[in-house]
Amino acid sequence: MSHAHPELALPKPLEPGALRIVPLGGLGEVGRNMAVFEYDGRLLIVDCGVLFPEDHQPGVDLILPDFSYLDGRLDDIEAIVLTHGHEDHIGAVPYLLRLRGDIPLVGSRLTLAFLDAKLREHRLTPHPVQVSEGASIELGPFALEFVAVNHSIPDALAVAVTTGAGTVLHTGDFKMDQLPLDGRITDLREFARLGERGVDLFMVDSTNAEVPGFTTSEREIGPVLDQVFGNATGRLVVASFSSHVHRVQQVLDAAWAHRRRVALVGRSMVRNMTIAAELGYLTVPDGVLIDVKKVDSLPPDEVVLMCTGSQGEPMAALSRIANRDHRVSVGPGDTVVLASSLIPGNENAVFRVINGLMRLGAQVIHQGNARVHVSGHASAGELLYAYNIVRPRNVMPVHGEVRHLVANGALAVKTGVDPDRVVLAEDGVVVDLVDGRARIAGAVPCGYVYVDGSSVGEITDAELKDRRILAEEGFISVFAVVDSSSGAVVAGPQVHARGLAESDAVLAEIIPEVTRALAEAAAGGVADTHQLQQVMRRVVGRWASNRLRRRPMIIPVVVES
């Protein structure tokens, strides 16, 4: 398997008849999935999602793919194909549409409906092209065929992209539940037909490539929920992802069977389930839904709260219930079900919520003690089926951290794919399909683009480093007013600090030291404010290091008067 090296150069111009694929996100991370296909001067984008920040990226709301590769080429884009409606596949579309608003958006009915709701929040008007499994469309030099795949959201699609360079089959996110709730299986007959015709490059979801065996069927959760609901004597709270239509369906069904009403809680839960119900993806038994405001008027054993916050998000309903900061309370005899995965990195937050709920006396059921969640991604066993059915000429694992991509590549090799034809690329690494052979052709700049409040791409890693220093060490600002001619201090120095432990009395120790240093500097003829600021920085820095054993950020300011 060929690994991309950080020393890669910019790629050469694309040869005629060759296809270029530039992953701008999702390769080397779980999120912000986006791939740019180029053929004959035209571009096709598959997915355009967001990545959620980690703790070392404080204050960041979202992370986008780096669109700078598209600079000057926006008019070459034929369309954005959206494989399904999850945030990590559609969440960055509004930001790309800000650069060019009329890019056609190709996707299934539910995917486009979820996207439409998002775009309306951004006050953007989409140009949708609705497709479904079995559809074939042509966009410039790209012939697209869509294949049904099964995932943790309905109406997901794989897409086959055929150009003069051959056929690329991109799975999107998928698993191969053989008995899905909606009967819509990943269409392996179509995978087989495409394989028979010839798949030159197979781009395959890597998320669960490290997980041995097969992902359990969503259907197996129903009986577990039924048992939990049957045993519950008090209030029931179920938390899950707000896009997981089938999971919510199972909760509605269990509630109905056990004569409970369901209140949907959380803005995204209400919005998505309203869409899903309107389009017929969610079947809502008549009268099962109630408004959350009515929950307290019903006996505890007649209600279910279906809410967000399964990842311990502090502002979501579940955290607030655990902190007794929500209109709905839970206590002894009540049951809370986390019908969701525990996304790595969220452990502390989730366990904080679980501990809070248990402290209140509630019983908490989660994937650690009951089968109340199954993954939406194909495990290693399923991936082997996919490789054996498609028999691709080249393989490019997508969607995952390095460990996932490597594991997925190893599975391809096990099924007989030539290791030299398994391309392990990370974001920005350019892969060309030339003469039926996929090869790394170079790399393009591809950084993290941070959304923070109203700013997009303005926060850099330097600011994030500043923020981490501020968080870990705090800051000391010190300023003085000096006479513009003599450099003598006429007011101050004053010291302010935040994030430090020290009292004002301790900080006051700095003042005589700074005063002395400024006097010495002035006596030595230094009157330039910049130089005086450097003097203050040195004195305060040395003091903090010696006296506090800390290295706070130091902001020295000298004003001339």
Enumerate binding residues for a copy of itself (CB under 8 A).
Answer: 3, 28, 54-56, 58-59, 210, 344-345, 347-348, 351, 354-356, 358-359, 361, 364, 368-369, 401-403, 406, 426, 450, 452-455, 458-460, 463, 466-468, 470-475, 477, 479, 481, 490-492, 494, 496, 498-503, 547-550, 553, 555, 557, 559-561
Catalytic entry in 258, 366, 377, 404: 377
* Residue 191 CB, nearest approach to a copy of itself (Å): 28
Q: Decide whether 193 or 537 has the Cβ nearer to a copy of itself.
A: 537
d(CA 305, CA 248): 11
CA distances from 202 to 54, 121, 198, 287, 478 (A): 30, 35, 10, 46, 60
Smallest gap from residue 147 Cβ to a copy of itself (A)? 30
* Extended beta strands in 17-84, E state: 19-25, 34-39, 42-46, 62-64, 77-81
5 among the known binding-site residues? no
Residue with tokens 């439409």: 116
Q: Is 244 annotated as a binding residue?
A: yes
Task: Give me the least distance between CB of 497 and a copy of itself, in Å please.
Answer: 9
Which has the closest alpha carbon to 237: 382, 366, 130, 351? 366
86 is in an annotated binding site: yes
Confirm or deny that 61 is annotated as ligand binding. yes
Q: Between 102 and 462, name the residue whose CB sits nearer to a copy of itself.
A: 462
* Cα pseudo-dihedral 223, 226, 228, 232, rounded to 10: -170
* Smallest distance from a copy of itself to CB 474, Å: 6
Residue 88 in marked binding region: yes
Q: How far is Cα 460 from Cα 462, in angstroms, rounded to an integer?
A: 5
Nearest to 248 by CA among 289, 287, 295, 207: 289
**Residue listed under structure tokens 């010696």:** 546
Alpha carbon distance 235, 258 (integer Å): 12
Q: Shortest approach of a copy of itself to residue 528 CB, angstroms?
A: 16
CB of 53 to a copy of itself, least distance (A): 10
- Cα 154 to Cα 147: distance, rounded to the nearest angstrom: 13
3-state secondary structure of 92: coil
Could you tell me which of 128, 99, 134, 95 has the C-alpha nearest to residue 114? 128
User: 373 among the known binding-site residues?
Assistant: yes
Nearer to a copy of itself, 309 or 356 (CB): 356
If phi over 0 gives left and psi between -120 and 50 gives alpha, with beta otherwise, what is residue 487?
Answer: left
Nearer to a copy of itself, 50 or 82 (CB): 50
Active-site residue among 205, 334, 427, 432? 205
Nearer to a copy of itself, 331 or 512 (CB): 331
C-alpha distances in angstroms, 84 versus 32, 88, 123, 132, 270? Answer: 13, 9, 21, 11, 19
Q: Which residue has the tokens 């003599």?
A: 486
Binding site annotation covers 399? yes
Spatial separation of the C-alpha atoms in residues 537 and 544, rounded to whole Å? 10
Residue 49's φ and ψ, nearest 5 degrees, are -110, 175
Residue 530 labeled ligand binder = no
Catalytic residue status for 205: yes
Closer to a copy of itself by CB, 74 or 490: give it.
490
Catalytic residues: 205, 377
Known binding residues are 59, 61, 84, 86, 88-89, 151, 173, 242-244, 373-377, 399, 452
Known binding residues for substrate are 242-244, 373-377
Known binding residues for Zn(2+) are 84, 86, 88-89, 151, 173, 399
